[in-house]
Each structure stands twice: as C-alpha cells, then as structure tokens.
Chain A
C-alpha cells in the first residue's frame, strides 16, 4: 500500500504547524503574585504530566493525520470533533493548573496569586476554533446546521466554565469579584444595541423605500450617511453631548442627558442607518421589474404590490443589512462607555486604565461572543427568508 504524503488540506497543515511553533515558543499560562504585575510564563509542557500527554497528543495527532486525508464527510467530522476535544482539554488543563497553583498558594498563606492565559493558550484556542470552523464549512451544511455544529464545538468549554472547574483562573476571579457589575453591564450592552435597532429600523427602512421611489432623493441621502459613517465614533459621541445637554436642560421631562444612553443610542443609530438604508434600497432594486409590472398589470394596488411582492422579495437583503448593522452596533457600543452609557465597554476601559489585562478580557470576550451569536442568528433568519427563492 502506498501512502500519499502530499498534504490534502493545506489550511489544516498551516494550523497544525502554527500550533507546534506556539507550543514550543510561547507561554501557555502566566503566573503572577497579584493581579496587576505581569507574571512568569508557564510553558505547555509543564502542564503535561502523566495522562495529560495523551489527552493533548491524541486529538492533535488526529488533526495532523487529517492533513493527509482527502476531504470527506468523515474526515471533516473527525477534524471538527478533534479540534473541539483539543479545545476543551486545553481549557480544562489551564483551569486545573490554576487550581493547583491556588491550592499551593493557599497553603503558603498567599491568596493574591493569579494564573492567567498566556500567548500560547490564545494561539491554540484560535487555531482549534479556526480548524473546527474550516471543517464545518467544508461539510457544506445549511446555516442552521452550521450554527448548531459550531455551538457543539463550544459547548464543552461552556460546560467547563459553568461547572466551576475554571474558577481559579484570573479571568474567572475577575468575574467573581464583579459579578453584579458584569451582569448589569452585559444587560446594559444588550439594551443599548436593542434600543438602537428600533429607531434604526423605523427610520432606515422608510428612508430606503423613499430612496427607491425617488432616486433624486437617494443621492444626497447617501452622501450624508456616508459622511456620518466616516466620523470617528468618539468624535460623534462628543459632538452629541453639547446639544443633548442643552436639550435636557430645556426639556427635563424628556428624561435624557448629554451623557448616558441618549447620545449613545443616537450616535449608534446614525452609524446604523447607512447599512439599513443601503440594504433596503438594494433589496427593492433587486426585485425583478417584470414581477412588479405583472403584479400591477393584474390589478394589485400599489400597497398590495409593496407588501405582497416587494417586501417579501427584498427581505433577505434587508436582513443581511440588519445583520451587519447589529454586529457593528455591538462593537461600537463598547466605545459608548466613554460617554457614560455603561455596557461591557465600561469594564474593558476600567481594565485598560488599571492595566488589568484579565479585566479587559472580561469586557471584550462577551462582546465577541454576542457578535458571533447574533451573526449566526441572522444567518439562520436570512436562510429562512430565502427559503422559497432560487
């Protein structure tokens, strides 16, 4: 039997090689006497004693083997499972090591010690995720199936985090110390994004429809929205503070202020308008002229043509615009913390200002998770809206 040694999956080959380099050169964890000083690197091999070797090498060897296998459902399923297992093992190893260090420090009477993730951990995490995502992509599933498969890859990590196995890690200690603040910030962040979407849709969709019906109105509208899009977010937040403060002073009954939720929502809405107006317009334009002509010619009223024909046919593109807008708003809402709107940005900036890297992560990771989750949700929704179209 001849063995073909040419790599069949070059993407995976790159991941495997990068993983090897990271394992040999970067610290997997860092160990520090307290949360503010930078720690000493702990290489991966320190953690690999006894059976741990097999736990890491097993899935890694499977990934390395899969590089040389022709793509098939079985191969890609294997890669997905191996990447998910490796991810879970690495997270578990980090948690277990942190616990061990914490117990030792406890015995020595020092409870301020911190075990944080190092560069090696992040590289491995990202590589595992990319390998799994790439394999799921190659399985060519429908969006719902893809979303579920990727959720299954992350599920063991979520279970580990929920079980308390990771509680000794610095990131989780930061969470423990600020649980109330974190929960409130998470909720607030979702609130800012959710409240932004309402005026965005109420303004953006009618503006897109108007631009479709009156092309002469569209050109200056897009010029304006493009200008807004180029204003840096901090500048836009700042610009809104003065007029809103004046408005709040004149009309206290509105319950708004120059800082806080109002300027954040207004600025985010302004940024969100461009993708929504654009996708509404494109969606309506993509409806074949013959379909609209036939509908009119058969005696549908203009309102019936709009609601029964144009809206359903434009919906997939509108949803893709909404997807872009929402993901963008989740990211931009971080900056809104600077003008007192709160949200996860507040935790991130607190971490930045006090040089506590794990606190920064505590603010940023949920933002990333939220963006990924919303993106997946909209992918499924778009697929649903498109179900009857070629």
Chain B
C-alpha cells in the first residue's frame, strides 16, 4: 500500500530521516514509535506530502507520491493530529464533512455519513452535530477528530499522536475504539506515538525509530520476545518485558474448559497481565473464568501464564 525506498529528509543540516525503507501492507495497523527527534512524525508527514522527502522514493499503491497532486493524495488519506486541529468556527457536523465537501459529495450523502460516524464514535448525532468544538470535552473533540479523518472513507488513516493530550481513562477508551474500528473496517492505519503501551496494544506491526533510522520492525510479540538490541530492550522497558507479553493476550487464550474453580470469576476478555495481578492480589493459583454474558467458561491456572503462546 505504502512503500518507502531509501528515503531521506533533513531540515537544514539536521538529518531527520536517513535512508529509510519500509513497506506498509494493506490492512496493517502500523505504529511508528520512538523518542523525540527519532523522525517518526517526519516519516508520517512525508506520506501525505505535508513534508516533502529529499531523497529516495515513496510509493502509494505502486505510484510515486509526487505524481499525485498533494491535495488529491491528502483527500484519499484521513489525517488526525494530537490537538485535533478542529475548526473552531465550524460545527461538529461541518468539521466532519470537510473532506466529503471537498470531494463534492451530495448533501444528503454527507448528512448521512456524518450521523453514521458520530454514532460509530459514541456521540449521539442529534445531541452533538450542531455543537462547536469549544463546547466539547477533550475526549469528545478527539472523537470528532477521528470521525473527521474517517469521513470520506479514506484508503489510509494517518494519525500523529492522536491521543497524546488526553487523560489515561479517555485515552484507553479511544484506543479501544480505534482497535475496534480497525478490526471492523480493515483500514490501513499508520499511527505515531511515543507511548510503548499504546503501540503494543494497537499495532499489528511496530516500527521503532531512532535518529531517523529503523531500529527494529515487527509484531509486538516479535519485539518483546526477540528485541534486536539493548536500545529496543530499554525502550520496551527492560524489567517489564514479561509483563508486557502477558498484556498482549487475553484470558480466553489460556483458559482450561470444563473445570470451574471457586471464587469471584474474571472475564475472558481480561488481559493476562491483569489476570496476573488478580492471582497475586488474591494469593490463589486458579481463577474461574466467565464470558461476556457471565456464563462459566472454565478455569485459568497460574502456571499456564508461563506456557508459551507460540
């Protein structure tokens, strides 16, 4: 879908991205992660030509992105940023309708799409479409920002630290929304963050950057199990790698059916990381597991946490 071939970019004398090659497949949720100055934002903004690359080639669906008009390529890619960049003088509905309007969709189709997206992001349309951004909370603004990026059903969704300014609870809720939207739509998503837990929770593929170069790219499990070097280990949080591995899986993957332990049951959708916490807190070795409807599923054994997933 998107391919970087030996791409470099510098600002004045400072190199931001050096000889970067990366292939992003259709339907992948790619997370670009790194510290400040790692080149992750520059890499993202080169995709929709907000920043023009100096050397190398960037292909979108096999074509050099310079062969498109910048506006055309941008309208085919949703774009959401940290401080939302919502237009303060437009209503929520007008904000979401930005790209469909640029693409000259008929009014009825736009109205329908706006209502659909507001519903998808948990904002009742009747209540929210006429409001102005300053009448919304930070989390609601970010939801509108995501809805606006999705409005014209773009082929690619680019997100630049979209949840960076939110409180942990709101951020968690929006991360879950994003994971759900990705599962449901199968969209190609490229997201920039500096938060390793966000990356591990959302990505199908993590690209860890440092000083404009890719240090390691792979699935969350690959990074956690086989970190390429000490930098990756440090970035993942050396002492917590095991815990984070448990965070990638849910209780459902390890439950033994047809047995039922005593005690307060845990949900099958709970992460193994949270389950570990419950084991320790209750000082037990077995926990009963129930599904979303509260029906008994089986038992989770403490020892099974150590069983390799692969």
Pairwise interchain contact A297-B88, C-beta atoms closer than 8 A:
no
Taking the complex as formed, is B172 at the interface, i.e. its CB lies under 8 A from any CB of chain A?
no
| Neighbouring A residues of B89 by C-beta, 8 Å | 312-313, 388-389
Q: Which 7 A-B pairs have the closest CB atoms?
A: A294-B85, A299-B74, A390-B134, A299-B75, A297-B79, A290-B85, A290-B83
Taking the complex as formed, is B189 at the interface, i.e. its CB lies under 8 A from any CB of chain A?
no
| Neighbouring B residues of A388 by C-beta, 8 Å | 88-90, 132
CA distance A300 to B100 in the complex (A): 11
Among A288, A295, A298, A301, the residue within 8 A (CB) of B83 is A288
CA distance A304 to B78 in the complex (A): 18
The size class of the interface chain B forms with chain A is 20 to 34
CA distance A300 to B84 in the complex (A): 16
Pairwise interchain contact B50-A290, C-beta atoms closer than 8 A:
no
| Neighbouring A residues of B102 by C-beta, 8 Å | 298-300, 304
Taking the complex as formed, is A4 at the interface, i.e. its CB lies under 8 A from any CB of chain B?
no
Pairwise interchain contact B148-A298, C-beta atoms closer than 8 A:
yes
CA distance A299 to B49 in the complex (A): 10
If A290-B84, A313-B89 touch, whether A297 touches B134 (CB-CB below 8 Å) is no
Taking the complex as formed, is B48 at the interface, i.e. its CB lies under 8 A from any CB of chain A?
yes
| Neighbouring B residues of A304 by C-beta, 8 Å | 102
- Within B31-71, the residues touching A (CB, 8 Å) are 45, 48, 50, 70-71
Nearest-neighbor residue (CB-CB) of B85 within chain A: A294
| Neighbouring A residues of B72 by C-beta, 8 Å | 299
Nearest-neighbor residue (CB-CB) of B45 within chain A: A297
Pairwise interchain contact A290-B81, C-beta atoms closer than 8 A:
yes
Residue total for A at the interface (Cβ-Cβ under 8 A): 20
What 18 additional pairs, Cβ within 8 angstroms, besides A291-B85, A299-B71?
A: A288-B85, A290-B84, A293-B50, A294-B79, A294-B81, A294-B84, A294-B86, A297-B45, A297-B50, A297-B81, A297-B85, A298-B98, A298-B149, A309-B87, A313-B89, A388-B89, A389-B89, A390-B88
Pairwise interchain contact A291-B74, C-beta atoms closer than 8 A:
no
CA distance A389 to B132 in the complex (A): 8
| Neighbouring A residues of B75 by C-beta, 8 Å | 298-299
Pairwise interchain contact A300-B48, C-beta atoms closer than 8 A:
no
Taking the complex as formed, is B211 at the interface, i.e. its CB lies under 8 A from any CB of chain A?
no
Taking the complex as formed, is B82 at the interface, i.e. its CB lies under 8 A from any CB of chain A?
yes
> Could you tell me the distance in whole angstroms from the C-beta of B307 to the nearest C-beta in chain A?
45
Footprint of A on B, CB under 8 Å? 45, 48, 50, 70-75, 78-79, 81-90, 98-99, 102, 132, 134, 145, 148-149, 158
22 contacts between A and B (CB under 8 A): A288-B83, A290-B81, A290-B83, A291-B85, A291-B88, A292-B85, A293-B81, A294-B81, A294-B85, A294-B86, A294-B145, A295-B85, A297-B48, A298-B78, A298-B102, A299-B70, A299-B74, A300-B71, A312-B89, A388-B88, A388-B132, A389-B89
| Neighbouring A residues of B79 by C-beta, 8 Å | 294, 297-298
Taking the complex as formed, is A355 at the interface, i.e. its CB lies under 8 A from any CB of chain B?
no
> Could you tell me the distance in whole angstroms from the C-beta of A102 to the nearest C-beta in chain B?
59
> Could you tell me the distance in whole angstroms from the C-beta of A288 to the nearest C-beta in chain B?
7
CA distance A205 to B89 in the complex (A): 21
> Could you tell me the distance in whole angstroms from the C-beta of A153 to the nearest C-beta in chain B?
34
Nearest-neighbor residue (CB-CB) of A386 within chain B: B89
Pairwise interchain contact A299-B85, C-beta atoms closer than 8 A:
no
| Neighbouring B residues of A291 by C-beta, 8 Å | 85-88
If A298-B148, A299-B74 touch, whether A290 touches B82 (CB-CB below 8 Å) is yes
CA distance A388 to B70 in the complex (A): 30
